[in-house]
Structure 1
Amino acid sequence: MRTSAFFSLVAAAFSVNAVPQLEKRAAPVIDDTTILNYALTLEHLENAFYTGGLAKFDEAAFVECGLPVWARGRFVEVGEHEKTHVQLLQTALGSAATKPCNYSFPYNDAKSFAALSQVLEGVGTSAYTGAAQFITSKAVLTTAASILATEARHASWIGSAVNKGPGWSGAFDVPLSLNEVFTLAAAFITSCPSTNPQLPVKAFPSLAFSSPAPGKQSTLTFNATGTSSSTPLFVSFFTGLSQEFAPLKNGKVTIPGDLLGTVYAVVTTNGTMADDSNIVAGPAVLSFPFNSDGNLISQ
């Protein structure tokens, strides 16, 4: 999206606390079953998102918001893909399959539904990319790669054809860790069945930016519980396969001026490499649309 409404939506979507019962750490065993249940957790969420949104908004609702007349029909196809992903993973896992949770999504019209869809599909792409390193079975890896490719196609179509922005952020997508993805997903989860298998993940505190723009200063909102006030903090911006850093001073950061597309940001105690061991808060999802000349589109 090209307006500040997109940033407001994203900030609202990821500003709630993670579900307490999901933060319990299981034994740190990450095998193919764990990864399949991790993927199924995300696919359940996406399936619920499309099922609920499409039941609420008909074709007229999409057109009234200025979206193409054919957009809803394509979103129906996307929703069917997510439903099929759920069915495949459930079949593969059998009785070990995690069950769907209860969810809450902050859309209020078809336009905000489309904007949040772009965010979720982007997170899904980064989730599969980041989890690939843990898969041992070639058959499972091939299936995950096939789902990953489809999630990326979804994100590209929604970003360009529907939301009229770029269909990609650059030559590479951002691989996110299990914990980083879970932090983003947990913002939409209100409760889960107690019988669900515990995933070896934790949610970091939420992170929000005020009016983020490349080259501009932004005020951050987060809870730095457990971090000393004297500890130097940095903001790491994940872009493609790289990280860019900026010091956090008095709750403010100057966002690097060269960032484009979808960027994930975390607060960290390490100024050279952010990972699960030193992340204080985040990730937050930032979007900086650009034109075909590679120039930032004014918000």
Structure 2
Amino acid sequence: MRTSFLTVTLATLAVQAHPVVKRAVDDATVLNFALTLEHLENAFYKEALEKFDDKAFAEAGLPPWARGRFVQIGEHEEAHVNFLSAALGDKATKPCTYKFPYTDPKSFAAVSQILEGVGVSAYTGAAQFIENKDYLTAAASVLATEARHGSWVASAVNRFSGWSGALDVPLTLDTVFSLAAPFIDQCPSTNPELPVKAFPTLTFPGKAEPGSPATVAFDASTPADVPLFVTFLTGLSQIVVPISEGNTVHIPENLIGTVYAVVSTSDTKATDDNIIAGPAILDFAFKSNGQLI
């Protein structure tokens, strides 16, 4: 099994859960949620591309044309920020300060793949809340571009498949925020409050392979007599597996590509109401014949 930097990057940053009063999600809320992510991506590319020049990319073993394409992606993210900010006007959320876990162009490319993938799942999951059809069309346009980014970074640069299957994973607002929160350092106090919370971190400390047992680690307090489950999100499907003694879980067979895992108290379907930790990002690289690497 190929070990991927993608499966461990987010574990380097911890996030603490905090209570949030839920309120109705309207179009402005969804657009500001999207803008929060676009600000993060925009800052990510600006910071890294100022730090690493063409020589640094070449010394890291990346293709000579990679940096130029990343520059174009960064320009797209800036355009997304400007587009959403113009739509929201004086209601638009402002950028925060951030912390990104990369040390060189190669780890930057790995984080890029994570962020683009999360962005695709974020837009896919949030589309259900958009009522204005013009906003929905605009969001679909951004989603398509983010998907093109993610596919290019994964396949052309990081040598992974450009997709995980026929269907992508729609993530909820809370699970997306849980993945974004570790990168966010501090935000302006004047920013509109979003109805989201960050779940505690979920990690797989040892080897994680489909069809094999694995250990999970998370810091969430639940009564000892409440059974817990790890739900694996793949495409539009959820595969629920009980957590056994010693925090062990049997990873389902036939998982390929990017899979999100959460811990919940439900043995049927994980939702923001019953998730207690996660998501963790697992990447099971596979060949063109569908076999795992």
CA distance in 2, matches of 1:84, 1:154: 14
| Alignment of structure 1 residues 205-244 onto 2, 5 Å | 205-210=200-205, 211-225=207-221, 227-244=222-239
Shift, 1:7, TM fit: 2.6
What do residues 244-264 of structure 1 show as CA deviations (whole Å, max 9, x unaligned)?
121111211121121000000
Match of 1:90 in 2: 85
Match of 2:15 in 1: 17
What do residues 68-114 of structure 1 show as CA deviations (whole Å, max 9, x unaligned)?
01000000000000000000111111111001111000000100000
Q: Is the 8 A contact 1:235 1:266 kept in 2?
A: yes
Shift, 1:27, TM fit: 5.0
CA distance in 2, matches of 1:262, 1:35: 24
Q: Is the 8 A contact 2:11 2:201 kept in 1?
A: no
Residue range with higher mean Cα deviation, 200-209 or 24-33: 24-33
Match of 2:289 in 1: 293
CA distance in 1, matches of 2:292, 2:49: 32
Residue range with higher mean Cα deviation, 271-280 or 143-152: 271-280
Match of 2:264 in 1: 268
Match of 2:6 in 1: 6
SS at match of 2:216: strand
What do residues 146-203 of structure 1 show as CA deviations (whole Å, max 9, x unaligned)?
0000000000000100011100000000000001101111011111111110001111
RMSD of aligned residue pairs (Cα, Å): 1.4
2:99 aligned with 1:104:
yes
| Alignment of structure 1 residues 61-76 onto 2, 5 Å | 61-76=56-71
Match of 1:79 in 2: 74
SS at match of 2:261: strand
In the superposition, relative to structure 1, how do residues 208 and 237 fare at CA in structure 2: closer, same or farther (>3 Å)? Answer: same
TM-score, length of structure 1 as denominator length: 0.94
- Counterpart of 1:258 (choices 251, 254, 261) is 254
TM-score, length of structure 2 as denominator length: 0.96
Gaps of 5+ in 2: none
Aligned length: 291
CA distance in 2, matches of 1:280, 1:156: 30
